[in-house]
Amino acid sequence: MIQTTPSRWGTIVRLTRLPASPVGLPYQPSLLRLLHGATAVGVSATWITGLMVYNQHDGRWGRLPWHWSAPWIDLHGSAGVLLWPVALLFGLYALSLGRRRLRQPGNAAALLALGLAVGSGKLMQEDWLRRGELQHLVISLHLLGWLLLSAMVLWHLAAVLQRGGPALAASMLSLRCRPSDTWRDWPAQLRRALPWR
């Protein structure tokens, strides 16, 4: 913003920064950003390791042209074990503080697909794949869950870009926190969001 001030020596011109506008700069709550980011990292890790598991042990619908030898089942299982509590916390957040966002179909569908993928993964036994036992219903549910999750994440990203453009997408990566939105404020935020408070 340009400010001019008359003086006896002429006009003084000052350039000042515009105040941050909530309309121009989207803000996402810090707890949402933390849980969303942790979930995104966990989903990415399990998706990549799951693709390697599928390529090495399943391949019913095709295989990748390259093969990397590694204990992919163990890595995928470890990533899934780490994703499980994060996804649970993210789901609880979505049903409490984030319930308003669940009215958007892309968000709700991605959360349901995450629940199917993680839930079916908890029911699997890793030795089934090592022994080539691909007939178990849970394996098909798990593959379906990860395919749906991949599609729903793309839908979610497209909806975010359509609704708010790159600024809204970038707001999830921002490290900026309002004074009333630090980790110390999370318990009070949760208490306000619970219906039985």
Query: Tens digits of per-residue pLDDT, 3-21?
Result: 666 666 666 656 444 444 4
Nearest to 120 by CA among 158, 90, 87, 98: 87
**Residue 32's pLDDT band (boundaries 50, 70, 90)?**
very high
Q: Note whether residue 189 is domain-resident.
A: no
**pLDDT at residue 102 tops 60:** yes
Query: Tens digits of per-residue pLDDT, 146-178?
Result: 999 999 999 999 999 999 899 999 999 999 999
Query: Tens digits of per-residue pLDDT, 35-67?
Result: 999 999 999 999 999 999 999 998 888 898 888
Provide the domain limits for residue 50: 29-60+68-168
Q: Note whether residue 12 is domain-resident.
A: no
The DSSP code sequence of the chain is -EEEEEETTEEEEEE-PPPPPTTTS----HHHHHHHHHHHHHHHHHHHHHHHHIIIII-TT---S----S-HHHHHHHHHHHHHHHHHHHHHHHHTTTTTGGGSHHHHHHHHHHHHHHHHHHH--HHHHHTT----HHHHHHHHHHHHHHHHHHHHHHHHHHHHHHHHHHHTT-----TT-SGGGHHHHHHHH-TT-
Number of domains observed in the structure of the chain: 1
Q: Note whether residue 93 is domain-resident.
A: yes
pLDDT of residue 19: 44
Q: Note whether residue 13 is domain-resident.
A: no
Mean pLDDT of the chain: 87
Q: Note whether residue 102 is domain-resident.
A: yes
Nearest to 33 by CA among 182, 173, 187: 173
Q: Note whether residue 99 is domain-resident.
A: yes
Q: Note whether residue 130 is domain-resident.
A: yes
Q: Note whether residue 158 is domain-resident.
A: yes
pLDDT of residue 20: 45
